[in-house]
Structure 1
Amino acid sequence: MTGMMTAQVEQRLLTGDRAHGPLPALSGAEIITMAREAGITGRGGAGFPVWRKLSAVAAVGRPAVVIANAAEGEPAAGKDKALLTVAPNLILDGLQLAARATGAKTAHFYAPAAALGPIRALLDERRRAGLDPVPVGLHAAPDAFVSGEESAVVGAVSGRGAVPADKRIRITESGVDGAPTLVQNVETLAHLALIARYGPDWFRGAGTADEPGTFLATVSGSVNRPGIVVEAGYGVPLGDLIAAAGGVAATGIQAVLVGGYHGGWVPADPALPVSRAALAPYSAAPGAGVIIALPATSCGLTETARIANYLAGEVAGQCGPCVNGLPRMAETLSDLARRRNRPGLPAEVERLARLVTGRGACRHPDGTARLVLSAMRAFEADVAAHLTGRCLALEGSW
């Protein structure tokens, strides 16, 4: 990656709780309208319009439940942890706004066990100050990749365990104890709190017209400050995020994984905008803001096989595509990464990836398959080299 630009980042959430205070006197309908006008989408990975989820839960007309999701099961992600540290009040403000918008009388905070102590103390302070009309229960999220999937969140809060449920059941209609349920990532809730205070136009002052607002990105890999959390507007050049992480490390960059372990590989182009529209041709999306720079000295197929094997072990064990399909796909990709020239090996990898897509109880097989197919395209030259017993990264051909 060359032609690095000065980092253009925007500090809103990461300035901390300075925007925290008494919430504006907004009705539920006004909150939903503001979310719609702001154009805010979920920051947990799926990017679904927030106002639609709020409206869907409110429209059911029965007592609802709202959940703040800070599980962050993605190994390379750190944004939610950072936000819990610098702006926990903004998250809790957003949770109360979501409760007001949906008419919920019950709220829950779902996070790793280590984060619950500080949140419990903060909730006690807020209760004494009369800031939270809707009581908030605390629930520990297990350390597992699928623990943050929204139906798994509902299962954990319901006491059934953090296991994804049948994706045909809409939790907005029937979630915790059969109640209409809203699950929102904590970053999304913090944005909602800022929108309520400063308005939709202010929110749209960052990002693009089609993808407004800022997002949090965790940048790791071949950078000089791996693991740093950066805030920037959608459409920010990829090079700016790398620059904000201290720039390219001595090992160089040959490709970048955007969107995390369920994301996609993109070229190491510093001018590439980080937005859903610009990343779509690569079957990638900003997702949960995970940016991993692959060193020029590492093999993209080997790294993808490592991730695929990890994901194959992070299954709930309740459907065939996860139990059988993902391990088989990971094993086949590993054979290719180890340069085993078996007839039809690349075609078999792609066949297995397409076979598991859309057939699981949740989206875990789909995301894993998307990553693998992305690697087969991004590292096409490596695939050809591996079939002849060569590896471009080991040869220094990148």
Structure 2
Amino acid sequence: MSILPPHRLDLAGHRRRNGVVPWVAYHGDDGRDRLIEAVEAADLRGRGGAGFPTAVKLRAARSKRSIVVANGCEGDPLSQKDVALLSLSPHLVLDGLQLAAHAVGASEAVLCVHAGSPVLPGVTAALAERDDRVPVRLAEVPRRYVASEETALVRYLTSGDARPLGKLPRPAERGVHGRPTLVSNVDTLAQLASAVLLGPHHYRAARTDLVTVTGAVRRPGVAEVPAGTSLAGVLAAAGGEAEPVQAVLAGGCGGSWTADLDGGLPGIAAVYVLPARACGLEYTVRVLAFLAAESARQCGPCRFGLPSIAADFAELLRGGPSTSRLARRLPLLPGRGACAHPDGAARLAASALRVFAADVHAHQAGGRCRVPAGVA
């Protein structure tokens, strides 16, 4: 079953296409257990980038005081799948949100989107069509890259400060206003609804993934592909290469450059396709500058590390000998921040040095390797 319909579905259209959640099968505490077991049998994993088993998160957040937060804030500018999903199939997300709330015993749910998001009118209309067991309120979150990190959402909903809290305690232990909190990406919730509506075994056989593809492809945008599709298959789903391709950035702004299209898609489901005529270092400099500017500036790796590696890459473009500094600095970033933001920047930078090694040498020899690449 396709997750994305060809046009926006109202509640009646959604139910004709996808069916009605069989609530009677999940009545009571035993029903909650069966629901989580169905999610586990479907092997559903988070679609926000981490790929963590959803059933484990549901069990961890289960409590009479729990709250469920649907994360519809796409901080990564290379990803648009959540916007597409909330625009075209909001009721599939809301079904998944209700199922998640039932599974953990929550009496309150929040749907977070970025302030001024284009999905707001449609989601508001969808909520007005429903008479759900658990009330859902909309929260508009500042348009910042790190504001969509799960502990940043918890902090924002508690105090109005949209910065990550740190790795411990996890939201399932102490989240919004100290309550056990399940934070789940809206794509994950739509997949949860699909798993329940189809049944876990049918779902596993028919599962598809939403991937945003930009850059040198014929049909840039959100593509729906069978689960496990290679990068080559993702590009084919976007109409194929529009011109010769040098490399792809897989996993969003905090992902990795690769020239191997036979591998799968790691992290965030977003791919930027770099044409052969463009300079990968130039593009990486722009992304690193963006990541440095979007940091929360509350821990050393973000305050000092990200601006330093962004400056080192800018120096590489000018032919400067900053590779030795990068070799020292990059290993110091991963695992040391309040969130994984520095890890992604370090991963991006290290992959650029590896994939564009010839371009690094060309710049250091005093020339420009290729045409500058604009940011998608």
TM-score by length of 1: 0.86
Q: Do the aligned residues in 1 keep the contact of 2:359 with 2:369 (CA within 8 Å)? A: yes
Partner of 2:182: 182
Q: Do the aligned residues in 2 keep the contact of 1:24 with 1:197 (CA within 8 Å)? A: no
Q: Would you say 1:323 and 2:300 are equivalent positions?
A: no
Q: Percent identity?
A: 43
Partner of 2:236: 243
Q: Would you say 1:388 and 2:368 are equivalent positions?
A: no
Q: How does 1:137-286 map to 2 (within 5 A)?
A: 137-206=137-206, 213-226=207-220, 228-250=221-243, 252-267=244-259, 269=261, 272-275=262-265, 285=266
Q: Do the aligned residues in 2 keep the contact of 1:234 with 1:274 (CA within 8 Å)? A: no
Pick the aligned partner of 1:12 from 3, 24, 33: 3
Q: Distance in 2 between matches of 1:41 and 1:164?
A: 22
TM-score by length of 2: 0.90
Q: Would you say 1:350 and 2:327 are equivalent positions?
A: yes
Q: Do the aligned residues in 2 keep the contact of 1:222 with 1:295 (CA within 8 Å)? A: yes
Q: Would you say 1:47 and 2:51 are equivalent positions?
A: yes
Q: Would you say 1:72 and 2:49 are equivalent positions?
A: no
Partner of 2:110: 108
Q: Do the aligned residues in 2 keep the contact of 1:224 with 1:245 (CA within 8 Å)? A: yes
Give the 3 Å change call, closer, same or farther, for CA 198–319 of structure 1 in structure 2: same
Deviation at 1:355, TM superposition (A): 1.3
Counterpart code for 2:248: V
Q: Distance in 1 between matches of 2:4 and 2:69?
A: 20
Q: Do the aligned residues in 2 keep the contact of 1:13 with 1:191 (CA within 8 Å)? A: no
Q: Distance in 2 between matches of 1:353 and 1:20?
A: 50
Query: What do you get for the CA RMSD once the two structures are aligned?
Result: 1.8
Q: Distance in 1 between matches of 2:159 and 2:338?
A: 19
Query: Can you list the C-alpha shifts for 1:11-32, whole angstroms capped at 9, x where unaligned?
Result: 3344663215344322211111
Deviation at 1:141, TM superposition (A): 1.9
Q: Do the aligned residues in 1 keep the contact of 2:166 with 2:339 (CA within 8 Å)? A: yes
Q: Distance in 1 between matches of 2:141 and 2:98?
A: 21
Pick the aligned partner of 1:37 from 36, 41, 61: 41
Structure 1 gaps of 5+ residues are 1-9, 207-212, 276-284
Give the total of aligned pairs: 357
Query: Can you list the C-alpha shifts for 1:29-67, whole angstroms capped at 9, x where unaligned?
Result: 111101111111100111111011001111xx4410001
Deviation at 1:390, TM superposition (A): 3.3
Q: Do the aligned residues in 2 keep the contact of 1:258 with 1:266 (CA within 8 Å)? A: yes
Partner of 2:317: 337
Q: Would you say 1:304 and 2:284 are equivalent positions?
A: yes
Counterpart code for 2:236: A
Counterpart code for 2:309: M
Give the 3 Å change call, closer, same or farther, for CA 12–273 of structure 1 in structure 2: farther
Counterpart code for 1:144: R
Of stretches 22-31 and 144-153 in structure 1, the one that deviates more from structure 2 is: 22-31
Structure 2 gaps of 5+ residues are none
Partner of 1:378: 355
Partner of 1:359: 336
Q: Distance in 1 between matches of 2:53 and 2:340?
A: 18
Partner of 2:32: 28
Partner of 1:92: 94
Query: Can you list the C-alpha shifts for 1:227-273, whole angstroms capped at 9, x where unaligned?
Result: x11111232132222222222123x210001110011111153xx14
Counterpart code for 1:320: G
Match of 1:144, SS state, is: coil
Give the 3 Å change call, closer, same or farther, for CA 327–19 of structure 1 in structure 2: same
Query: Can you list the C-alpha shifts for 1:275-324, whole angstroms capped at 9, x where unaligned?
Result: 5xxxxxxxxx1x22101000111111111111001100001121121111
Give the 3 Å change call, closer, same or farther, for CA 355–91 of structure 1 in structure 2: same
Q: Distance in 2 between matches of 1:38 and 1:337?
A: 47
